[in-house]
Amino acid sequence: MSNTWRTAWQGHDIVLFRDDAEVDRVSAPQIERIIFVYRGAGESAGDLMHAVVETSEHCFLFPANTGFAGRINFERVEYWAERGCVYWIHQSQAPLPLRLRRGRWWLRLSGPGYSKLPHAELASIIDHWPLEGPQTWDQRKWRRIERSRPFAAREDDHRARA
């Protein structure tokens, strides 16, 4: 029997459910940073592997199947944009401790499951990740479009010289 994971907003809290039972809750104002780990080019919602949510006390790992990236991020984009706490990183540059990885290690079939860890346990690892951001999904999309335009680098170089 498989479990159905989902996240939802309840007031200022983000609540994680497994089937219909509440598993955990995070106070959104206490979130210091959200890191979306993606595969491929990270251009679609299907590329998101998991989210690392940091508070001063804990690090939460939310797999893609919890809907954290969708419901929690996209339902309140303006809230997260104002906070400036959303970052991005490719999965190849975001190693996790071996015990948090799932699936067949040689195939990397799946990402980590839901976990709640003391912040100190992951902080030293995350500090070495080359994060992109802070930027919302839309800001990230527009930067990608700007970089893909012909002569984009020349325009930036010209402005820098002026």
Q: Show the tokens assigned to 129.
A: 């990740």
Rounded distance between C-alpha atoms, residue 65 and residue 68, angstroms: 8
The domain limits of the chain are: 5-137
The predicted structure's pLDDT at residue 158: 42
**What confidence tens digit (pLDDT) does each residue in 4-59 have?**
899 999 999 999 999 989 999 999 999 999 999 998 877 777 888 899 999 999 99
pLDDT interval class at 156 (50, 70, 90): very low
Predicted pLDDT at 157: 47
Residue-level pLDDT at 101: 65
Is 105 in a helix, a strand, or coil? coil
Instruction: Give the DSSP letter of residue 4.
Output: P
What local confidence, expressed as pLDDT, does residue 147 receive?
76
Instruction: Identify how many contiguous H helices and E strands the chain contains and give both numbers.
Output: 4, 8
21: its two tokens:
């039972």
Specify whether the CB–CB gap between 53 and 34 falls below 8 A.
yes
74-106 confidence digits (pLDDT tens): 888 889 999 999 999 999 999 988 777 665 444
Sort strands 115-118 and 48-54 into parallel, antiparallel or unpaired.
unpaired
d(CA 23, CA 44): 28
pTM for the full model? 0.82
Total residue length of the chain? 162
